[in-house]
Amino acid sequence: MRRIDAVTLSTVWHAFQSTAREMRHVVDRTAQSYLLAQMHDMAAGIWDARSRTIAVPEGPTSMFLSQKFAVRTVLEKFGDDLHPGDVILTNDPYSGHCNHLPDWGFIKPIFHDGELLFVALTRGHQMDTGGSFPGGYFPNGYDIHAEGLIIPPTRIVDRGVERTDVLELCWANVRFPEGVRIDNAALIAGLNICETRLLAIVEKYGRDVVLDCVDEMLERTERVVREQIAALPDGTYYGESATDDDGTVLDEQVWVRCEATVQGDQLTLDFSRSDAQRKGFVNCVYASTYSRAVAGSFLFFDPALTEFHNEGSMACVDVIAPPGTVCNAQYPATVGGSPVNVGTQVLEATVAALSQADPDRAIAAWGRRRGHYISGTDPRTGERYVQTTTDADGGAGAVSGHDGFEGAAGFSGLGSILRGSIEEVEIRFPWRHVKFQFATDMAGAGRWRGGSGMEWEVENVGSEASVATGSSDGDTTHPPGAAGGADGPLSEMYVIANGERTQLKTHRMHFIAPGEILGKVSGGGGGVGDPHERDAAAVLDDVIGGYVSVAAARGTYGVAIDPETLTIDEAATAALRGSGG
């Protein structure tokens, strides 16, 4: 291979990155689903003709690192029968390596002078994909066919001409065809922008130079990630995490177990000891497990690399998940809940294991997802709606050196997923907010504490609504803390009807009548380090702000604070913390 000069290399590299960002931006600006436009539950990226990952912008970890598998499958399936202007659609976890059926992936081969050079993919969670209930996170489906329409890799645009009959077949099987049609258009627009930009790069620098740059990008990244892994002490580290239940077999926790082995410059993440595949909808396909595990490992590498990860990084990480485990479910297992659980648990277990390899870069898990899919009718328009949110999720986990971010939502999105706007929700949906604020003492304690949990209540001012709590977790299981920090607290969910408060559970279907209030109190992120080592002044600040109570300051952190004067009793604190401690 010809050697590429450093300047051309970084220019081309940056151009791929900014193209991937622009793809995401186009979808952001034009999509109509809350999940896509507001929560950014989507992915976009660029692969080469050998399905090697070149560039992926930020987004939910479940979404893109494994998409090389989808790209490979499409290239194998269609072979020579791919042409400029084609777009392939798939949402199939089994034949298309998607997480679950609502994630529709659009794949476009990009040709230059008749030669396939790149493959672009945009993928996003559709507001509906058929199945028993709207939205996609409903528990207790019989098998994957009960979860909605399955689309194996299917050509939907043939040499630039939309195959409308095929698309209409898809749209006829979803509840909100008009909305899904818009979001499909948004995702395809992202691919078209990508094609324009990549061809311009090839025109400008020449095919050979650009392809050589790609090789060099991958090689350089692999070299550096290997150095980073080599710097970790050799050994096997263990992390585990559980979800409340699988939604079908109720009240029985499901465990994900990760053994992380550092051997020289190779990292192996082995999920063999995880529970067996379940009846319920928490199962991950391998691609889903792969994405989370690899993303988790990236957190432990030099932050300067963050924008540059590609196939080179992935070459250094092996992910083992034997078929038949909950981390590599086989057809026809249901997988609807897997992006939340056990997908989150895969990430949590990975991070918990690696935090032991490098305690100076320990990372606690974030507050669990406290999502829902509410469907009903809006009396103002007479139209049906599906509403979902991340608003009630607890905050970020702590890391060595810093408290968790207050307000950040969803470990598996690492902060790329946004919360809603109260005013926007009230204009759009027949639900009125009663409460949306931090909950006191609902964060994992530690030398660095987690971000707070939330108190969140909304009143139903529309028709009777169904509430699927499949995207909620953490009533009986905790997000793990790290390096001696506490786990994130447990969460709860309730309905208030006629002044009576009734507990609701995760992974169930509930119904809420007009005038009733749906409420959630969520646990925040886990802590890092011993709470008794937390700076007493920081504990006092937490008490003054109402994040931590006077009682917890004393009981958990060993800091005695006078509730009247809000000052620290130094002597009592020293005694509580075992003096000199």
Among 80, 113, 115, 423, binds other proteins (CB under 8 A): 423
Pairing relationship of beta strands 509-512 and 465-468 according to DSSP bridges: antiparallel
Cβ proximity to other proteins: between 119 and 409 the closer is 409
Examine residue 400 and tell whether it contacts other proteins (CB under 8 A): yes
Rule CB under 8 A: say whether 16 interacts with other proteins: no
255 or 436: CB nearest other proteins: 436
Q: Determine, following the binding rule CB under 8 A, whether residue 421 of this chain makes contact with other proteins.
A: yes
Please give the residues from 491 up to 550 whose contact with other proteins meets the rule CB under 8 A. Answer: 544-547
Residue 546 CB contacts under 8 Å (≥ 6 apart), including other chains: 438, 440
Closer Cβ to other proteins, 361 or 534, answer by number: 361
Residue 375 interacting with other proteins (CB under 8 A):
no
Q: Residue 334 region, left (φ>0) first, then alpha (ψ -120 to 50), else beta?
A: beta
567 part of the interface to other proteins, by CB under 8 A: no
Among 20, 23, 24, 31, binds other proteins (CB under 8 A): 31
199-218: which residues touch other proteins (CB under 8 A)? 204-206, 209
Closest separation in Å from C-beta 331 to other proteins? 32
Distance CA 13, CA 464 (A): 52
User: Which residues, 236 to 255, sit near other proteins by CB under 8 A?
Assistant: none
- 562 belongs to the binding site for other proteins (CB under 8 A): no
Classify 230 as helix, strand or coil. helix
Q: Is 378 in the site for other proteins (CB under 8 A)?
A: no
Cα gap 528→362, rounded to integer Å:
7
Radius of gyration (C-alpha) of the chain in whole angstroms: 24
Q: Does 407 bind other proteins (CB under 8 A)?
A: yes
Look at residues 94, 88, 106, 131 and name the one whose alpha carbon lies nearest to residue 36: 106
The gap between the terminal CA atoms of the chain, to the nearest Å, is 60
The answer to whether residue 18 forms part of the interface with other proteins (CB under 8 A) is: yes
10 Å CB burial of residue 107 (0-12, 13-18, 19+) is buried
Instruction: Please give the residues from 325 up to 364 whose contact with other proteins meets the rule CB under 8 A.
Output: 361, 363
Handedness of CA 209, 80, 106, 61 (dihedral sign): negative
Please tell me whether residue 309 binds other proteins under the rule CB under 8 A. Answer: yes
* Segment 36 to 95, residues that bind other proteins, using CB under 8 A: 37-38, 58
* Residue with smaller CB distance to other proteins, 245 or 455: 455
Question: Interaction with other proteins in 252-281: which residues (CB under 8 A)?
Answer: none
In angstroms, rounded to a whole number, what is the distance separating the alpha carbons of residues 262 and 114? 44
- Pull the structure tokens for residue 136: 């996609």
- The answer to the question of residue 476 lying near other proteins (CB under 8 A) is no
CA–CA gap between residue 403 and residue 73 (Å, rounded): 42
Write out the binding residues for other proteins, residues 135-194 only, by CB under 8 A: 178-179, 182, 185-186, 188-189, 192-193
What is the C-alpha to C-alpha distance for residues 581 and 573, in angstroms, rounded to an integer?
10
Residues 425-444 that bind other proteins (CB under 8 A): 426-427, 432-438
Structure tokens of 172?
Answer: 């006829």
